[in-house]
Chains A and B, each alone.
Chain A
């Protein structure tokens, strides 16, 4: 039997029927057996009283006969006169009259005087018999005489004193037993074991028939085993002490066994039928129940595979199954709806309804066939972030939708397809054969897009960058094309052009940058000397002492090649790695300051940081922690920022700088004079130092204009409370001019190129020795 519902129901039904049947079988068998046993016992009891009655009536007959005989005066006379002939004839005559089988006349000493049958057959002296019968004179007794069983009664012949005894008896033959059998309904046997005599009512007697042995041992083969065929009752009949006579009543049990068996058979048949019925009905029931369920299971599997067609075939089901079926149907529909929705969302941009980037990749992969030619145009909305920030995201979204609509219109016209591949980036792909045609179409597209949009009653003009890639010339794989078109649009953005056609090799450069970035990250993590700091001394012009340095990072790659700091710092800034890089620089420089401090070299070190660093929330805390770690005075550290960096995120940046300033860190404005710092902004910046860009210093001694700018800048700086540093000092003349202009510090190759810490120490030693 399995574990399924169907077999469980069937098992339960059949089990219940079986149990009921077994219980009823057992109880029927028990009660019937008991009833039959009681019936047999009752029959035996009845038979006992019947046999008693029968023998009593016989006894009565005997008594009458004997009484009549012994009271007969003629007989008495004959006995008294010992008239043998008369006695004999009287005995014969009486025996004929009452049908007595035995009539004996015994004298007082027990000698046989006369008999109604041949006297020769009897023992001469019957005194022991007579004595015992006399002692037992109240009733008739059973004795074996002459190999025959008799029921006898002994009566005295009195004249008036007893002069003789008369023994009257009936022969107990199989006829008597048979008669008793017909009265009692049982086999009746008379057994005188000691006299080796037995007679029985049994019709077909086996050889060497011994009633007691036969009846007590006879068995009958029934259903399960051999059973005793008779229930026996042995009754001791009144008899001589030394010659007991037993009456054996044997009730034939065969019919009662047969009755029980009949009943059992009937019951078993009924039980089997009921069980069959149970099996059939329960399996029908289970079938009805489980067909529905297994169909539902099939449907559920079908649902799992994504097939939501609902086809339920079944006859009338129970209401619960019906409910389940309906629930399944609804579930299928709902899941289907939701799946379509999810699938749509997975492949589409919710705002514009365009494909998303991954769906676009799939679609591209499908569409890229050998004979097809496509143009991929990636379009980036410039400054969408500003619109979001200033006009709210709803307007931003409205713009996106409007742009999308125009792109769709354009791409649909050309039989192309389109996707939104980033926050403000779209991609349209359309079939296009000729290069001229491409340029024309793209120009047309940009023209269309740059027309003013009306969003939420606002008239908005948007500017775009577009990158263009040609299939199959510039890539055959979907992801390559996608990457390259993005590179192209990035290039357009970076180059401030509205259009950039992808050039072969840009992808590889891009890849190189990626590899370099990876290596840089590795170099920061490993800190194995690939990256190291150099320090360029700053001369305090007034005191002619070296009291400041600018720390500058250098990177020598594993292969020994040098990477320009501009390149990798730019890369780090673009990728966000700058935060980690700056953290490394800060740690290294501060550690160096602490190290120098131990060597009694007291230098203020300037660290270049980017706008991203200042904007990074952890920068301040990290700097403080590092200062604490190396027990370095914050005033020994100067943070150098370019003008450009200061302008980005102005308010936030100023706040962060003020915080730094509060703890004592000096702030220096780097590359002053070439950026966009207005004088108005300059007065607001929380700076300590102005660092004049080297373009003014390099040719200071030759250019009058530079001298004016530098002189006035120094004056301006001083008047705003800043100290001023001149960078790019390469000649003694320049230095002396700066001295004359009261510049505070000078830095440049004239003094020293940037040096590693150890070299710087040697240089310092040398410098101090000379000066």
Chain B
């Protein structure tokens, strides 16, 4: 809960980005569709990402601002960052320790070797997909950058709700969540036939507790 709260604070901080997303949808579509994202246990899922397919972004990458994936208190902040294809992301280090941010995701493998403060340059995310971020030093740090190719991207709120703006029917959309049991690169496709409210279910798995090995290691050392 604490982490989710913290993530939300980060999101609030970057309100303008959300405002931007909302702006896109309002200008492009006339109908608002209420979407609720739930898991297999009928629990609402916040931070699910819904993308309406085949609507490439009207903006050019050059116009896109540089997104920021900060590292605060040995956490990526925000945990989930949605960027558009070709957008730059900066990885500042707000901690007073060094981090070694890396990703082995196909969409953008990279690593920023031990640094503190500001890395030399922001990184451009050319390919759409999910980029999982880790820190080689701090195994518990996990972050996600969702690289969207559609201009219509939404994230569910705390109630798992998303208001989609759709002009014409039917439209194809996809949904993704970091805890989904399907492979991380998979996006669940669904069609929207009408303005009727829609409920989408995603199978999730509970995130593994942090620092599993530590205790075991200590035990293993006989302590």
Which residues of A pack against B, CB within 8 Å?
A: 56-57, 59-60, 62-64, 67, 71, 73, 76-77, 80-81, 137-139, 155-156, 158-163
Interface string of B27-43 (1 = CB under 8 A from A): 00000000000000000
A138 cross-chain contacts in B, Cβ below 8 A: 216, 219
Does B120 lie at the interface of the complex (its beta carbon under 8 Å from any beta carbon of A)?
Answer: no
Does B80 lie at the interface of the complex (its beta carbon under 8 Å from any beta carbon of A)?
Answer: no
Contact of B104 among A60, A81, A137 (CB under 8 A): A81
A77 cross-chain contacts in B, Cβ below 8 A: 104
Does B184 lie at the interface of the complex (its beta carbon under 8 Å from any beta carbon of A)?
Answer: yes
With known contacts A57-B222, A60-B222, A137-B212, A160–B132 Cβ distance under 8 A: yes
Interface string of B193-223 (1 = CB under 8 A from A): 0000000000000001000110011011110
B135 cross-chain contacts in A, Cβ below 8 A: 160
Q: Is the CB of B213 within 8 A of A155?
A: yes
The answer for the CA separation of A716 and B212 in the assembled complex, in Å, is 177
B129 cross-chain contacts in A, Cβ below 8 A: none
CB under 8 Å from chain A, chain B span 1-48: none
Q: Is the CB of B221 within 8 A of A60?
A: yes
Q: Interface segment, B86-94, B137-145, B150-158?
A: B137-145
Q: Is the CB of A161 within 8 A of B184?
A: yes
Contact of B134 among A81, A137, A155, A158 (CB under 8 A): A158
Interface of B, secondary structure class, is: mixed
Does B136 lie at the interface of the complex (its beta carbon under 8 Å from any beta carbon of A)?
Answer: yes
B142 cross-chain contacts in A, Cβ below 8 A: 160-161
The answer for the CA separation of A59 and B134 in the assembled complex, in Å, is 28
For this complex, 25 residue pairs linking A to B, each with C-beta atoms less than 8 Å apart, are A56-B220, A60-B220, A60-B222, A63-B213, A63-B216, A63-B220, A63-B221, A64-B220, A67-B213, A67-B217, A73-B136, A81-B104, A137-B212, A137-B216, A159-B104, A159-B132, A159-B134, A160-B132, A160-B133, A160-B140, A161-B134, A161-B142, A161-B184, A162-B208, A163-B104
| Interface-centre pick from A139, A156, A159 (highest chain B CB count, 10 A) | A159
The answer for the CA separation of A63 and B109 in the assembled complex, in Å, is 29
| Interface-centre pick from A71, A76, A160, A161 (highest chain B CB count, 10 A) | A160
Among residues of A, the one whose C-beta sits closest to the C-beta of B100 is: A73
B133 cross-chain contacts in A, Cβ below 8 A: 160
Q: Is the CB of B222 within 8 A of A56?
A: yes
Since A81-B109, A137-B212 are in contact, a sample of 12 more A-B pairs with Cβ atoms closer than 8 Å, ordered by chain A residue number, is A56-B220, A62-B220, A63-B217, A63-B221, A80-B104, A80-B109, A81-B104, A155-B213, A158-B134, A160-B135, A160-B140, A161-B134
The answer for the CA separation of A139 and B208 in the assembled complex, in Å, is 17
* Shortest CB distance A719–B (Å): 167
The answer for the CA separation of A71 and B142 in the assembled complex, in Å, is 15
* Shortest CB distance B160–A (Å): 22
Interface string of B174-188 (1 = CB under 8 A from A): 000000000010000
The answer for the CA separation of A156 and B135 in the assembled complex, in Å, is 16
B136 cross-chain contacts in A, Cβ below 8 A: 73
A156 cross-chain contacts in B, Cβ below 8 A: 208
| Interface-centre pick from A57, A62, A73 (highest chain B CB count, 10 A) | A73
A59 cross-chain contacts in B, Cβ below 8 A: 220
Q: Is the CB of A139 within 8 A of B216?
A: yes
The answer for the CA separation of A156 and B216 in the assembled complex, in Å, is 13
B139 cross-chain contacts in A, Cβ below 8 A: 71, 158, 160
The answer for the CA separation of A139 and B219 in the assembled complex, in Å, is 9
Among residues of B, the one whose C-beta sits closest to the C-beta of A59 is: B220
The answer for the CA separation of A71 and B208 in the assembled complex, in Å, is 17
B221 cross-chain contacts in A, Cβ below 8 A: 60, 63
Interface string of B91-125 (1 = CB under 8 A from A): 00000000000101000010000000000000000
B208 cross-chain contacts in A, Cβ below 8 A: 156, 162
Among residues of B, the one whose C-beta sits closest to the C-beta of A138 is: B216
Q: List 4 A-B pairs, minimum CB-CB distance, nearest first.
A: A80-B104, A160-B134, A63-B220, A60-B220
Among residues of B, the one whose C-beta sits closest to the C-beta of A82 is: B104
Among residues of B, the one whose C-beta sits closest to the C-beta of A161 is: B132
* Shortest CB distance A285–B (Å): 71
B219 cross-chain contacts in A, Cβ below 8 A: 138-139
A67 cross-chain contacts in B, Cβ below 8 A: 213, 217
* Shortest CB distance B217–A (Å): 5
A162 cross-chain contacts in B, Cβ below 8 A: 208
The answer for the CA separation of A161 and B212 in the assembled complex, in Å, is 13
Among residues of A, the one whose C-beta sits closest to the C-beta of B103 is: A159
The answer for the CA separation of A139 and B218 in the assembled complex, in Å, is 11
B104 cross-chain contacts in A, Cβ below 8 A: 76-77, 80-81, 159, 163
The answer for the CA separation of A163 and B220 in the assembled complex, in Å, is 24
* Shortest CB distance B101–A (Å): 10
* Shortest CB distance A750–B (Å): 169
A76 cross-chain contacts in B, Cβ below 8 A: 104
A64 cross-chain contacts in B, Cβ below 8 A: 217, 220
| Interface-centre pick from A62, A139, A161 (highest chain B CB count, 10 A) | A161
B109 cross-chain contacts in A, Cβ below 8 A: 80-81
The answer for the CA separation of A717 and B217 in the assembled complex, in Å, is 171
B184 cross-chain contacts in A, Cβ below 8 A: 161
* Shortest CB distance B33–A (Å): 31
* Shortest CB distance A60–B (Å): 4
* Shortest CB distance B70–A (Å): 17
Among residues of B, the one whose C-beta sits closest to the C-beta of A60 is: B220
* Shortest CB distance B134–A (Å): 3
B140 cross-chain contacts in A, Cβ below 8 A: 160
A56 cross-chain contacts in B, Cβ below 8 A: 220, 222
* Shortest CB distance B47–A (Å): 15
The answer for the CA separation of A59 and B139 in the assembled complex, in Å, is 22
The answer for the CA separation of A766 and B5 in the assembled complex, in Å, is 188
The answer for the CA separation of A718 and B208 in the assembled complex, in Å, is 179
* Shortest CB distance B77–A (Å): 15
A60 cross-chain contacts in B, Cβ below 8 A: 220-222
The answer for the CA separation of A137 and B142 in the assembled complex, in Å, is 22
| Interface-centre pick from B135, B141, B212 (highest chain A CB count, 10 A) | B212
| Interface-centre pick from B135, B140, B222 (highest chain A CB count, 10 A) | B222
